[in-house]
Chains A and B, each alone.
Chain A
Amino acid sequence: MPERWMHSQVALGLAQAMVVCALALAVAWLGHLRKLALGRETAMALVRGLLQMLAVGLVLVWLLKGAAWWSIPALAAMCATAARMAQSRLKSKAKDFANHGPNHGSQGYWLCLRAIGTGSAVVIATMALTRVIAFRSMALVPLGSMIIANSMNTCSQVLERYASDLKLNAGRVEAALALGASSAEAALPYARNATNAALIPSLNSLRSLGIVWIPGFAAGMLLTGSDPVYTAIYQFMVIAMIYAASGVTALVAASGYERVAFEGERLVGEQ
């Protein structure tokens, strides 16, 4: 292995990671004792997370030093992966979902990609074009990845909540349709609940910023000598961008799911 990868900082990082993994596995063991069946999933997630971050670290070495446009395919690939992950989470609710749309496998992927891609692209492009984010890979990739990751979570939460609420309230939705409501009118209370619930984490982040938590990279900026006031404003801006991207993602996901769940003002799959 190249010497530079094994320098003392990397070795220290791996040792620290092992300590944290041991703590997480201890929590999983406690869960196992309480019959919560967390063990296998936790171990898999830890190994996967560590390997992914090591791989990303290696990629970032050349990506962050590369031309700004390199970040475009990198962010697009992140969006595609995020859509796949959001869709795979939905598969765990396949039964609920299947009741609300035909061919949901491929539809689900494109729905997630459209929502995450639109939400992320609108915000990243606007911020880059207005120079709020520097047009450099060093800035675009890390900030873009944060925006994409949050959009992914929002997308999953909107779709899961919307699907289960529509299924749970199918009788009310059909009652509304039978009274002459359009599908959008009949589904409005559930679309509203799903988008509000999915945006709560982002909204809480905005509300509690600087009071309950200080984002990790704020500390990084301060350590590298940034002005504390500028650092604070920049943190607010990043969290606000995440909220904006999540909002667009939630709206696109909800309207997209509506087209899957309804067909010709009828709730698909209900009898």
Chain B
Amino acid sequence: MTSNVLLRAEGLHREVGANSGARSIVREASFTLRSGEVVAITGASGAGKSSVLRLLNRLDAPSGGHVWLAGVETSAMDVRELRRRVGMVMQQANLFPGTVAENVGYGPALRGEALAPAALDELLRTVGLAGYAERDVAALSGGEAQRVSLARTLANRPQVLLLDEPTSALDDAAKLVVEEALLSAIKGMEGACLIVTHDAAQASRLAGRTLVMREGVLRDDTAASSAQGGNNA
């Protein structure tokens, strides 16, 4: 059980502001994520759910605590390599101006690689957008844009996929289509997935396990028992 821990966070916290104005937005986050697992983090607005995700790929710097990815402490890793291996889909699609193909190929292009046409087609099929490669992203609907954002993240072949309220900006119809794309993507992944959502029903539809975050605290009962595994995975 302990050998397949892919991501482990221990005592992660973050404070913002300085001196008397300092406040904790994440007081403590400790949890594990195993290979093949989909875990949801739920909780009230402002509980710190999204902030935890941003600490995992170091879009924000933690004030303390540790994160291990496949047994390697992430603070010792090159941040760009970490972000390639821990992919993130945000609430908004945030697509770059250009075509769908240019967006999906962005990550590989950063490493000087061109995404093969077959790989591009496969990614677009996974998210239900086959044939969209040459479309201008400015002409996409919100749901389509979010699926392009998912394909763009998957193009980096991440070991861990972080999903930050990926359907919160969509209407119900688009939400279901994006969920289908997420399920399809998760099924095709060899790694693990951590999804932040305020929607308990969505958490149960997508995730095998749900953690609840309250007032900046996220504790996973299985984390303590996996401590050894986090370091040795």
Interface string of B181-199 (1 = CB under 8 A from A): 0000000000000000000
- Complex-state Cα separation, A177 to B81, whole angstroms: 11
Q: Mark A165-184, 1 if CB is under 8 A from B, else 0.
A: 00000011011111111100
A-B pair count, CB < 8 Å, reads 62
Interface centre among B25, B83, B87, B95 (most CB of A within 10 A): B83
CA A232 – CA B130 in complex, angstroms? 61
- Chain A residue, CB-CB nearest to B155: A179
Task: Provide the bound-state CA to CA distance between A179 and B110, in Å.
Answer: 9
Chain A nearest CB from B56 CB (Å) reads 11
Cβ–Cβ < 8 Å partners of B153 in chain A: 178-179
When chains A and B are docked, how far (Å) is the Cα of A203 from the Cα of B17?
A: 43
From A179, A185, A189, A266, B84 is in contact (CB under 8 Å) with A179
Taking CB atoms, residues of chain A closer than 8 Å to B160 are: none
Q: Is the CB of B110 within 8 A of A264?
A: no
Number of interface residues of A (CB under 8 A): 17
A189 to B95, CA, bound (A): 13
User: Is B106 an interface residue, CB under 8 A from the partner?
Assistant: yes
Contact residues of B between 81 and 127, Cβ < 8 Å to A: 81, 83-84, 87-88, 90, 92, 94-96, 106-107, 110-111
Q: Tell whether A92 is near chain B: CB-to-CB under 8 Å.
A: no
Q: Which of B2-10, B57-65, B205-213, B217-225 contacts A (4 or more CB under 8 A)?
A: B57-65
B29-85 at interface with A (beta carbon < 8 Å): 51, 57-61, 79-81, 83-84
Please, which residues of chain A bring their CB within 8 A of the CB of B80?
180-182, 265
Task: Point out the residue from A174, A180, A264 that lies within 8 Å of B107, measured CB to CB.
Answer: A180
Which residues in B have some Cβ–Cβ distance to A below 8 Å?
16, 25, 51, 57-61, 79-81, 83-84, 87-88, 90, 92, 94-96, 106-107, 110-111, 149, 152-153, 156
Nearest 6 pairs of A and B residues by beta carbon = A175-B94, A171-B94, A180-B84, A179-B107, A178-B88, A180-B80
**New A-B contacts (12) at CB < 8 Å, excluding given A182-B80, A271-B25:** A175-B96, A176-B96, A178-B87, A179-B87, A179-B107, A180-B80, A180-B111, A181-B106, A265-B58, A266-B61, A271-B51, A271-B60
Residues of A within 8 A of B (CB): 171-172, 174-182, 185, 189, 264-266, 271
A-B contact pairs, 10 of them (CB 8 A): A172-B96, A175-B149, A177-B83, A178-B83, A179-B153, A180-B110, A181-B106, A182-B80, A264-B61, A265-B80
